[in-house]
Each structure stands twice: as structure tokens, then as C-alpha cells.
Structure 1
């Protein structure tokens, strides 16, 4: 699929929220399977969708975050509307450490596996380097739901920093 990447605009907030909640449903289903049920409920007392919607809204409107959209660039020949939002990426720059952080990235489930996540990541990496950053960082989970994300990051040359994070409900 051919895409174009363009800057996010405030009118696209609802579209980005809907896309991210659809994209991350398998991730949160997976997390629920690997985290203690009480801990999971503590993290998401109103359900994960409520907290994720708030997180996406905050990221998209934060002054210290740069957000871009992946838009379909092919028309009706393949049955897709030109200009359909198929993904997004949000990047923060940490100038003091010369590090760029991919803070969020998501691809619409109907378009996953077509290189859109890779294209968004490559765009973000180029932009970070052009902004003077010397290191790029992205975080993801180690559970099965995050496996596609890990695959993309490793394919792009990211190296894993082994960190163990433990949780216990009090």
C-alpha cells in the first residue's frame, strides 16, 4: 500500500483515538492474560480504553510532542479511499540527552502487515536525526500482543535493553 505521511492536525484527534483503540485491542487483551488480574484492574479501573483514550488525547495535544499521520495514497483501484488515516506516530525529543523517543505508534488493524508501521518508524527516525538527536528509543511490551511491534523495531536495528519490571497488588 502506498502512503503519504503528513503532520497531525487537531481535527484528526477523534480519528487517531479510534484508530489507536482498534489497533491496541489485541495488545491489551494480551496484557490482561499475562498480568495479575488485580494489578490489571488497578492499572485500568475504568477499563483500558478510557485510560488509553486520555493518553492519546494528551500526546496529540502536548506541545512537546510531534505527531504525524499515515494517509492512504492509493484510490479506488484497490477499494480504499485516498486520504484515509491508516496510522500515526508521536515523537518526543529529549535534547538534554540527544535522544528521540517514539512515544506512540499505531496502525489500523485493517492495514497492518503492509509496511505502514515500518514507514512511520523510518520517517520518525529520519526526523529525529535531522533534529540533531544521536539516539532513538522506543518502549514496548514483552507479551505476545506486542510481538509485531518488537519485530518492527528489531528489523529497523533497535537493540533491546533488558529490564525487568515487577508488579504486585497491595
Structure 2
């Protein structure tokens, strides 16, 4: 089982690399669902976009980021945000698990850990957002297993 610990700056390279591997099938799914023309307008270089997003999260929220370690390396990470402290609402803002460790409980462990950190911060409601496409199915299962209630939202895209 993975051990969860606070993020350290030297983890950044491993986190970016595992995130890109983890999200590759997600972006492939999005491209299949949206079609290449719409997908490429939104994500002309999804790898660069995701690298930048992850690096920004690590730089801005380092004290609210934790990593999962197993087999001597970083195999996942999670970050939280306290979006609405006045309403006691926090969010799991980003989570990724290396594909070689998906299905082994790392995502669930990170989700539970994030929920506990939100509770410790005084939050009474936790939110998380993920996609409805097939590529996000594992994430939806993890969040539903943790007790999140799904509120379907429909977003439409049309190529012009």
C-alpha cells in the first residue's frame, strides 16, 4: 500500500511525469467524444497545458499537496483548496495516479486523505469535479466510493 506524505519540491518532476501518463487516456477519450476539430481547439497541446497546470498547483498550493509513495517512488498526488471557507466548503482540486498503480487503492487513499485534510481545516462540505466521458470513469468510481454525490451537469460543444 502507498504511504502518503507532504509534497516536497523535489517531487515535482515525478508528479508532472505521472500526471501526463495518467491523463493520456483521459484526453484520448475527450478527443473521441468531442471530435478532433473541437478537441484540438480546446487542447492544441494538452501535454503542455497539463504540465503547466500541475506545475502551477505545486508552486501555489505546495502546503496543500500530498504525494503517495510506493515501490520507492511517487505514484500519485492530490491537492485541496479551501474555496469557500465562509461556507465551510473545500475541494479536491487535482488528483492523479500513475497508470502502473491505478486500481490498487492509491486513488481511494489519496481521496480519503484529502477529505481528512478538509475536515481538519474546518470544512463541512467537500466538492470534486471530473468529466462525464468514458476516460473519467475510474475517477467517478473513486469519488462515488468515497461517498460523493454526483450532480450531473451538461455542457455542450459544437464545432462552428
Interval of TM-score (by shorter of Structure 1 and Structure 2): over 0.9
TM-score by length of 1: 0.89
**Per-residue Cα deviation, 1:80-136 (whole angstroms, up to 9, x for no partner):** 3x3x10100011112133111111101111111110000000000011011100111
Residue 131 in structure 1 maps to residue 129 in structure 2: no
Aligned match for 1:158, one of 136, 148, 155:
148
Alignment partner, residue 87 of structure 1 = 76
Q: Which contiguous aligned blocks of 4+ residues in structure 1 show a shift greater than 4 angstroms?
A: none
| Residues 12-161 of structure 1 aligned to structure 2 (within 5 Å) | 12-45=11-44, 47-63=45-61, 66-72=64-70, 80=71, 82=72, 84-94=73-83, 95-161=85-151
The CA deviation at 1:63 is: 4.2
TM-score (structure 2 length as normaliser) = 0.94
Report how far residue 153 of structure 1 moved. Answer: 0.6
Q: How far, CA to CA, are the matches of 2:86 and 2:50 in structure 1?
A: 28
Partner of 2:157: 167
- SS in structure 1 at match of 2:117: helix
Q: Which protein has the larger Cα radius of gyration, Structure 1 or Structure 2?
A: 1
Q: Report the Cα distance in structure 2 between the residues aligned to 1:139 and 1:64, rounded to whole angstroms.
A: 20
Matched length: 159
- The alpha-carbon deviation at position 64 of structure 1 amounts to 8.1
